[in-house]
Structure 1
Amino acid sequence: MEHVPGTATKDRLIATAIPLFARHGVEGVSVRMLNKEAGVSSQNAVYQHFGDMWGLMEAALTLTLSEIREGVEGLLDGAESSDADPLPLSEVVQAIVRPITRIAVSKSGMERLQFIARMIGGSGPRGKEVVAREWRSVALRVNELVYRALPENGREAAGVKTLFAFNTAINVVADMGLEAYWPLETKSIKRIDHYLLDYIEGGIRFTSNPKT
């Protein structure tokens, strides 16, 4: 493979920025802090590779979101290779949740999920635009599968509840650890994962038939 000048530095800046942004937000991380953590001597490296810290945030967010998107698409591809038509809602929900829980148990996976959750909730329109752009194709695909599984609820409900499902899964899994202190009858991550699937599927299925 042809070497691209600066690739190692660029990758190191992204990898270092993710946990820092997760803890402090984009505005709470200085170039000096980032360079020190990344072991980068050039004070201009961020500007050369990303334009500014927000450009670095977008690059890091694009990378982490693509990991989830590819996981969702892979599970949907496998599920759709069966003869089931429409695809059962339970399998669609698993395709939403499982890539996120798999990342959570991988090396530095929780940092990546906490970064995504913080950027969705705390980076303003710029972060939300990146999320919407990166997940648009898979969101449209899941919207359609949810609608086909529950056509009686309509396309509007399918789209809105797909958004809620992704957002819920990201934030619940990113908050893993709270269950150790919460008054629960189980602390098992496997059991909590089961209830998360139940919770999301139940929310998608439920309808109050709004008039407006």
Structure 2
Amino acid sequence: MAQTSDLSADRNAQSTQQRLINAAIPLIAEHGLQNLSFRVINKAAGARNQMAISYHFGSMEGLLQAGLLQALQPYVAALGARLDALLERHPADAVPVAELAAAMLDPMMAMAARPSGLIELKFVSRVASSAGEYGLPLITRELTPATHRLIALLAASRPDVPAASLGLRVVFGFNTLLQTLAHWDSPQLWPASVQSVEQLAPALHDYLVGGLSGPLPAP
């Protein structure tokens, strides 16, 4: 009987944690963190205990980390699968830069095309811009393994460019994708009419390829 009660308590705790995450992501995506209180998130999640966030996550930072894991894990998994597939088709030192760019771009395009995925991208973008000193480190923590794989493959095919420069190019590429796709539906940002996220794919791919494969400037 005690074991059954413990299992029920565990399920209830997991349910509350998930409801808090699911409530926080769209609230932060829309409003940012500046005026967002524990009380507002608790209410949206239907959590009766006003200390629920502190109890389950320790702090707002802990809640953000859980939200980022939920938002970014599918992207990281899809990117990893794309890199695995590239290594099945190409030697490790000859993966085309255009295909590495597509591996970065396509999974994020797929997120932006889904309402829930777009909200998650907006959430990640908001955390990056409004979560103070711990926002970007949290995002970096989730993306670092995939980023290191990309840099290694890029460095193998571009030995003429210092690894540090390639690393920055990959970081700039991720940031461009995130900020562009998180806000693709904000028409005031675009000089031309953008009717769908798919319209952005060719230009974004060209931008990534140019940035990742461009030569070093002459000394």
Determine which of 74, 79, 83 is the counterpart of 1:76.
83
Deviations 1:28-85 (A, max 9, x none): 2112211221122121211110112222112112221222211110111112111344
Determine which of 20, 25, 29 is the counterpart of 2:27.
20
Distance in 1 between the 2:33 and 2:192 partners?
34
Query: Aligned in 2, Cα 1:179/1:203: closer, same or farther, shift over 3 Å?
Result: farther
* 1:118-197 matched pairs, under 5 angstroms: 118-179=126-187, 182-184=190-192, 187-197=195-205
Query: Aligned in 2, Cα 1:179/1:153: closer, same or farther, shift over 3 Å?
Result: farther
Do structure 1's residue 55 and structure 2's residue 90 form an aligned pair? no
Q: What residue identity is the alignment partner of 1:162?
A: V
% identity of equivalent residues: 29
Do structure 1's residue 109 and structure 2's residue 126 form an aligned pair? no
* Preserved CA contact (<8 Å) 1:21 1:28: no
Q: What residue identity is the alignment partner of 1:192?
A: L
Stretches of 4+ aligned residues off by more than 6 angstroms? none
Query: Aligned in 2, Cα 1:112/1:188: closer, same or farther, shift over 3 Å?
Result: closer
Q: Identify the residue that residue 102 of structure 2 maps to in structure 1.
A: 94
Q: What residue identity is the alignment partner of 1:191?
A: Q
* Structure 1 stretch displaced more, 138-147 or 100-109: 100-109
Query: Aligned in 2, Cα 1:62/1:192: closer, same or farther, shift over 3 Å?
Result: same
Q: Which runs of 5+ in 2 are unaligned?
A: 1-6
Q: Identify the residue that residue 44 of structure 1 maps to in structure 2.
A: 51
Query: Aligned in 2, Cα 1:210/1:167: closer, same or farther, shift over 3 Å?
Result: farther
Q: Secondary structure at the match of 2:202?
A: helix
Q: What residue identity is the alignment partner of 1:176?
A: W
Structure 2-normalised TM-score?
0.87
Structure 1-normalised TM-score?
0.90
Q: Which runs of 5+ in 1 are unaligned?
A: none
Q: Secondary structure at the match of 2:162?
A: helix
Q: Secondary structure at the match of 2:150?
A: helix
CA positional deviation for 1:210: 6.3
Do structure 1's residue 7 and structure 2's residue 43 form an aligned pair? no
* Preserved CA contact (<8 Å) 1:12 1:38: yes
* Structure 1 stretch displaced more, 187-196 or 74-83: 187-196
Query: Aligned in 2, Cα 1:179/1:199: closer, same or farther, shift over 3 Å?
Result: farther
Aligned length: 210
CA positional deviation for 1:186: 6.0
Q: Identify the residue that residue 71 of structure 2 maps to in structure 1.
A: 64
Over the aligned positions, Cα root-mean-square deviation in angstroms equals 2.0
